[in-house]
C-alpha cells in the first residue's frame, strides 16, 4: 500500500541561512502512530510545518495521500489536522465558535452534531460557551485538539501534545488517540521523551540536527535501547572506582563526579 | 473555490465587530456630530454656501469618506494582522484555502463594517442638515468601490506590518492629512492656484470630489476622472497582492 505521507529529500533553509532540515526522507503508513523523538531544535516542528503548509520547503517533495503539498495544497490540507506546539488561541472567542470556525476553514459544511461529539470526547462540552481566556492551559490544548478534529482529518499531527498537561489529561489524550486510530486515522506526534514514544507509538523516528537518525518499529527499537544505563552523580569527585564496586563494569566521567 | 471557508472567515470577523459594537458605532457618531458642531455651525455660519450648497451639506460627503477610509483601512489591516500577532495564523496557512479566499473573507468583512459605519454617519448627518442625493447609484458605486479598495489597502498594510506601530502608521499619519487637504471642508477653488495644483496630486481629492458630485452635482474634478483614479488604485493594489501571494511575502517562511 502506498504510504499516506511520503517525504523525500526534504531540505529547509530559513531566511536567516540556518539549515533546519538536511535531506529528510520518511514514509508514514496509513493508520499507524508514529512518534518523532528529538531534542530541542532538532527540526520536528519544521518538518511538520512543511507537511501542513505553514512553511515553504527549500528543496525536496512531500506527498500526502499521493498529492503534492505545494501544488495540490487543497487536497492535502483537507486531509490533515494539526495541533501546534504553541498554545495560540483567540482569547475572546468561545470554544464552540472557534472549533466551528476550523471546520468551515476546511471547507466542510457546519455539522453541530460532530462538533458536539468532538467536544464531549475531549471533556470540553460543558465549556462550549466559555471564552478561551477563561480556560486553563490544559483545556486550551484540548481546544486546539478539538479544532484539529473538527473537520474529520485522515492524518493528525500532534506537536508536543503533552507539554503542560497533567497525568489525567495525558491518559485521556491517549484514549482519544487510540479511538482515532481505531477509525483509521494516521497519527504523528512529536516528543522529547522516549517513554512517551514507547507508550503510544507503533514506530519511532529519531531526529536530530535536521536529520532522521533512525526510524524503527517500537519493539525493535526497545530491544536496541533496552540495555539499561545507570548514571550516579557524586557529591565529591573520586579518583578511581572503589574496590568494593570493581566487580561491576563502571566508568568515571566528568572529572570523577559521575 | 472554498466557499465555506470564505463564509467562515467573513462571519468570524463580523462576530468580532459585534463584540465591539458600542465602540465601533458610538465613537464615529460622536466624532461626526463634533465635526458638524465645529465646522458646520461655527465655521459654516461665516461661509454660508458653496456653489449653492449649504456648508453643512457640503462637508457631509467628505466626512463620510474620512470615516470610510479610516474604518476600512483599520479593519482590513487589523483583521489579518491580529492572527499574525497571536499566532492563530497557523490555521489559515494550514487550511485548504487560497489567498484569494482569505482576501475575500477579510476584505469583505472589513468593507461591510466600513460601509455600515459610513451609512450611520450619513444618517447622523441628515439629522443636522438637509441632504439630497442627486445620483444614488453613482453614490453607491463610489461608496462600495472606496470601501473595497481601502479595505484591500488595509489588508496589505496588515500583512506588511511587523508591529502595532507600523500597523497604525498609515491610518493615523497619512490618511487624515490627505482627507483634510483633499477638499473635505472646502472647494479647492478657494485655494491659491499653487495649492490647487498641488491638491491634484492628492488621490483622496478625486474620491471626495466624485462622491460629492453624486450628491450635489458639484465637483472639483470631472467625476469620470475620479472613478478612473479609484479603479486604477484598485488595480495597483490587486497587482501588489498577486505579488505577495506568489512570494508568500511575510506570511510563510
Ligand atoms: N522562522 C525561523 N527562522 C530561522 N530559524 C528557525 C525558524 N524556525 C525554526 N528555526 C530553527 O530551526 C531549528 C529547528 O527548529 P524546530 O522548531 O523545527 O525544532 P523542534 O525539533 O520542533 O524543537 P522543539 O523540541 O524545541 O520544539 C532550530 O534551530 C530553530 O532555531
Ligand atoms: Mg517543536
Which pLDDT belongs to residue A123? 87
**pLDDT-derived band of residue A233, with 50, 70 and 90 as boundaries?**
low
Judged by CB atoms closer than 8 Å, whether chains meet at A107 and B88 is answered as no
Residue of B nearest to A53 (CA): B94
Q: In this structure, are A200 and A247 located in the same domain?
A: no
Highest mean pLDDT out of A43-52, A163-172, B58-67, B238-247: A43-52
Q: In this structure, are A200 and A144 located in the same domain?
A: yes
Number of domains in chain A: 2
Cβ B109 vs Cβ A110: under 8 Å: no
Which pLDDT belongs to residue B178? 84
B2, B96, B252: residue with CB nearest A54: B252
**pLDDT-derived band of residue B156, with 50, 70 and 90 as boundaries?**
very high
Which pLDDT belongs to residue B194? 87
Q: In this structure, are A218 and A98 located in the same domain?
A: yes
CA A138/CA B120 separation, integer angstroms: 44
Lowest mean pLDDT among A99-103, A125-129, B94-98, B174-178: B174-178
Q: Testing the interface with B: which of A13, A101, A105 to mutate, by most B Cβ within 10 A?
A: A105
CA B222/CA B36 separation, integer angstroms: 27
| Parent domain of A257 | 231-258
For B81, phi and psi rounded to 5 degrees?
Answer: -70, -40
Give the residue-averaged pLDDT of B84-101.
91
Q: In this structure, are A132 and A239 located in the same domain?
A: no
Whether the pLDDT of residue A89 is over 70: the answer is yes
Q: In this structure, are A133 and A46 located in the same domain?
A: yes
> What is the distance between the terminal CA atoms of chain B, rounded to a whole angstrom?
25
Mean pLDDT score of chain A: 86
Mean pLDDT score of chain B: 87
Whether the pLDDT of residue B30 is over 70: the answer is yes
Ligand closest to CA A49: 1
CA A234/CA A34 separation, integer angstroms: 38
Judged by CB atoms closer than 8 Å, whether chains meet at B12 and A101 is answered as yes
Whether the pLDDT of residue A195 is over 90: the answer is no
Q: What distance in Å separates residue B168's CA from the closest CA in chain A?
A: 21
Q: In this structure, are A37 and A136 located in the same domain?
A: yes
- Rounded to the nearest whole angstrom, what is the distance from the C-alpha of residue A80 to the centroid of ligand 1? 21
Q: In this structure, are A199 and A257 located in the same domain?
A: no
Chain B residues touching residue A102 (CB < 8 angstroms): 91, 95
Give the residue-averaged pLDDT of A105-131.
92
Judged by CB atoms closer than 8 Å, whether chains meet at B7 and A73 is answered as no
Strand order in the sheet with A33-37: A80-83, A155-158, A186-191, A33-37, A203-208, A211-217
- Rounded to the nearest whole angstrom, what is the distance from the C-alpha of residue A223 to the centroid of ligand 1? 30
Chain B residues touching residue A86 (CB < 8 angstroms): 87
Query: Positive or negative CA dihedral for B150, B156, B158, B164?
Result: negative
Which pLDDT belongs to residue A257? 57
The label of the residue with cell 470564505 reads B6
Q: What is the pLDDT of residues B110-130, one digit of tens each?
A: 999 999 999 988 988 888 888
Lowest mean pLDDT among B19-33, B203-217, B231-245: B19-33
Q: In this structure, are A167 and A223 located in the same domain?
A: yes
Q: Testing the interface with B: which of A101, A104, A157 to mutate, by most B Cβ within 10 A?
A: A104
**pLDDT-derived band of residue A126, with 50, 70 and 90 as boundaries?**
very high
DSSP notation for A133-197: GGS-HHHHHHHHHHHHHTT--SEEEESSTTTT--HHHHHHHHHHHHHHHHTT-EEEEEES-HHHH
CA A61/CA A21 separation, integer angstroms: 13
Q: In this structure, are A93 and A217 located in the same domain?
A: yes
Asked if residue A40 has its Cβ within 6 Å of ligand 1, the reply is yes
Residue B246 touches partner A, C-beta closer than 8 Å: no
Judged by CB atoms closer than 8 Å, whether chains meet at B12 and A97 is answered as yes
Amino acid at each position: 500500500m502506498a504510504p499516506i505521507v511520503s517525504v523525500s529529500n526534504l531540505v529547509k533553509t530559513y531566511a536567516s541561512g540556518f539549515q533546519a532540515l538536511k535531506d529528510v526522507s520518511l514514509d508514514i503508513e496509513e493508520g499507524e502512530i508514529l512518534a518523532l523523538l528529538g531534542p530541542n531544535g532538532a527540526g520536528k516542528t519544521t518538518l511538520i510545518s512543511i507537511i501542513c503548509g505553514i512553511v515553504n520547503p527549500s528543496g525536496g517533495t512531500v506527498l500526502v495521500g499521493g498529492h503534492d503539498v505545494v501544488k495540490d495544497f487543497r487536497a492535502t490540507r483537507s486531509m490533515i489536522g494539526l495541533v501546534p506546539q504553541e498554545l495560540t488561541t483567540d482569547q475572546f472567542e468561545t470554544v464552540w465558535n472557534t472549533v466551528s470556525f476550523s471546520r468551515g476553514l476546511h471547507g466542510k459544511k457546519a455539522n453541530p452534531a460532530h462538533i458536539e461529539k468532538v467536544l464531549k470526547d475531549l471533556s470540553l462540552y460543558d465549556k462550549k460557551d466559555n471564552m478561551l481566556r477563561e480556560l486553563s492551559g490544559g483545556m486550551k490544548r484540548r481546544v486546539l485538539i478539538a479544532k484539529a478534529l473538527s473537520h474529520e482529518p485522515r492524518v493528525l499531527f500532534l506537536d508536543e501534545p503533552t507539554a503542560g498537561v497533567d497525568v489525567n489529561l495525558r491518559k485521556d489524550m491517549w484514549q482519544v488517540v487510540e479511538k482515532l486510530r481505531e477509525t483509521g486515522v494516521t497519527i504523528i506526534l512529536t516528543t522529547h521523551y522516549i517513554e512517551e514514544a514507547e507508550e503510544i507509538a507503533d514506530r519511532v523516528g529519531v531526529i536530530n540536527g535536521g536529520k532522521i537518525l533512525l526510524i524503527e518499529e517500537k519493539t525493535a527499537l526497545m530491544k536496541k535501547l533496552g540495555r539499561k544505563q545507570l548514571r550516579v552523580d557524586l557529591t565529591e569527585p573520586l579518583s578511581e572506582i572503589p574496590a568494593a564496586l570493581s566487580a561491576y563494569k563502571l566508568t568515571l566521567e566528568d572529572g570523577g563526579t559521575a | 473555490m472554498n466557499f465555506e471557508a470564505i463564509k467562515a472567515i467573513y462571519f468570524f470577523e463580523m462576530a468580532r465587530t459585534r463584540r465591539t459594537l458600542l465602540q465601533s458605532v458610538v465613537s464615529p457618531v460622536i466624532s461626526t456630530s463634533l465635526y458638524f458642531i465645529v465646522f458646520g455651525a461655527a465655521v459654516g455660519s461665516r461661509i454660508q454656501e458653496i456653489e449653492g450648497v449649504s456648508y453643512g451639506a457640503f462637508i457631509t460627503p467628505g466626512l463620510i469618506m474620512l470615516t470610510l477610509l479610516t474604518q476600512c483601512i483599520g479593519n482590513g489591516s487589523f483583521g489579518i494582522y491580529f492572527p499574525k500577532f497571536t499566532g492563530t495564523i497557523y490555521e489559515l496557512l494550514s487550511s485548504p484555502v487560497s489567498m484569494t479566499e482569505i482576501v475575500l473573507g477579510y476584505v469583505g468583512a472589513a468593507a461591510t463594517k466600513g460601509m455600515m459605519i459610513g451609512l450611520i454617519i450619513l444618517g447622523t448627518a441628515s439629522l443636522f442638515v438637509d441632504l439630497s442625493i442627486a445620483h444614488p447609484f453613482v453614490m453607491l458605486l463610489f461608496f462600495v468601490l472606496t470601501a473595497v479598495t481601502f479595505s484591500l489597502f488595509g489588508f496589505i498594510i496588515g500583512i506588511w506590518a511587523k508591529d502595532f506601530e507600523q500597523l497604525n502608521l498609515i491610518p493615523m499619519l497619512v490618511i487624515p492629512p490627505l482627507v483634510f487637504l483633499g477638499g473635505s471642508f472646502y472647494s479647492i477653488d478657494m485655494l491659491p492656484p499653487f495649492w490647487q495644483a498641488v491638491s491634484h496630486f492628492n488621490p483622496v481629492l478625486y474620491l471626495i470630489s466624485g462622491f460629492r458630485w453624486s450628491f450635489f452635482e458639484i465637483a472639483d474634478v470631472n467625476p469620470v476622472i475620479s472613478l478612473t483614479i479609484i479603479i486604477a488604485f484598485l488595480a495597483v493594489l490587486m497587482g501588489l497582492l498577486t505579488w505577495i501571494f506568489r512570494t508568500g511575502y511575510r506570511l510563510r517562511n
